[in-house]
Amino acid sequence: MIRELQEVVVVDAVRTAFGRAGEKGIFWKTRSEDLCVPLLKALIERNPPITPGHVEDIVWGVTNQVKEQGGTLGRMISMLADWGWSVPGCSIDRMCAGGLTAIGFAAAQIACGAADCLVAGGVEHLGHLPMGFMRDPHPRAAEVMGDASAFNMGLTAENIHDRFSEFIREAADRYAAECQARAEQAIRAGRMQAMIVPVDVELPDGTRGVADRDQQPRFGTTLEALANLKTPFRENGRVTAGNASGLNDGAAAALLMSRSQADRLGLAPVMRWVATGTAAVDPRLMGTAPVPAIERALRQAGLTIADVDLIELNEAFAVQVLHNLSRLGLQADDPRVNVWGGSIAYGHPLAASGPRLVAFLLGLFRERPSARYGLTAMCVGRGQGYAMIWENITQA
């Protein structure tokens, strides 16, 4: 039987607030699964007539798949959301891009006709499960990746500074300050309210509360303050806590459907999947990998970067973004890039960050119906890049 490709659309995308990892974080006493469950419930509540019975699979990105994030979390969360036993689910890992890869896998499933309605997303609780927790690298891992710096993402960013000396610390700090300013403006304007699902939590002091605002952004960040920060990864280095993303807890999810199914249910999707690109580079320079991934996605779509109206590029490190934009022929202050700020401000809970990019792009498409094409892209530990191109169909 020959199947025609299905048009894949995103109907909605939501996320939790992003908390700081550690004992002072808003999710310190909240399990990873309990960050995901409210998102599943919200996607159903926000999009009638969708019911759990319409969801044919859950594809969930999780980097550290141990303890509370083990046991095929993608399967468990639907049962914890009281969806019964009939909704399957899986967990996948592409480190930082686990959640964006989950969305890419879901899009491919729908496109080939294997499903009509999927939920895809990701979660990471770095407070409970720090990066590298319980990991046992192969004895030859450092050898095959180049050297031990490939294990440490901060050192890979320092390596970019070394290799591409035009990206000085002052430029990285300037980008970070602008990121914080854009985030502050977006938050004060209420741009986050539509996508953040409140989560009932026990706060660090033992009281109950509702987590509905990102904990990481630092309003009023100045270049002077950033210049005074230490360089923890290398003495006299250039990467600091101010020009890098934070360690965070959070979850995000998207509801994807075939266009035909969305039309049958009377839903109004926001954007259409166009193309996906993956790439791999020297793991010691992992932050450079979005460039070939983006270029591959653009080739598949028959587009150039000039055709893209909005760019959501995950900010693991400011120097990574500076490199990526430069190699794509863009300026550091390109107004299309991270309009509402990025991970340097909001934080980077690994597998949750990719779906967060999708939620941001969806919100921007709704706000800017004249914007036609958007891009979501990330660098990935061990030297990978992942990119997806989307088309705004709010006016279609």
Q: Which residues are catalytic?
A: 96, 348, 379
User: For 140-169, b where at least 16 C-beta lie within 10 A, e where not — what string?
Assistant: eeeeebeeebbbbbbbbbbbbbbeeeebeb
* Three-state DSSP state, 387: strand
Tokens (6 digits) for 88: 């399957």
Residue 21 phi/psi, 5-degree rounding, is -70, 140
Contact 260, 344 (CB under 8 A): no
Consecutive H or E run containing 253? strand 248-258
Burial category of 122 from C-beta neighbours within 10 Å (exposed 0-12, middle 13-18, buried 19 and up): buried
CA distances, 339 to each of 53, 92, 141, 179, 242 (Å): 36, 29, 38, 9, 19
Of 246, 228, 274, which Cα lies nearest the Cα of 104? Answer: 274
Tokens (6 digits) for 384: 């990978």
* Three-state DSSP state, 161: helix
Alpha carbon distance, N-terminus to C-terminus of the chain? 31
Consecutive H or E run containing 216? none
Consecutive H or E run containing 185? helix 169-188
Separation of alpha carbons 33 and 30, rounded Å: 8
Separation of alpha carbons 54 and 18, rounded Å: 29
Tokens (6 digits) for 183: 């985030």
Query: Does the N-terminal peptide bond of residue 49 adopt cis geometry, omega within 30 degrees of 0?
Result: yes
Tokens (6 digits) for 266: 């009377």
Of 224, 246, 215, which Cα lies nearest the Cα of 177? Answer: 224
* Three-state DSSP state, 127: coil
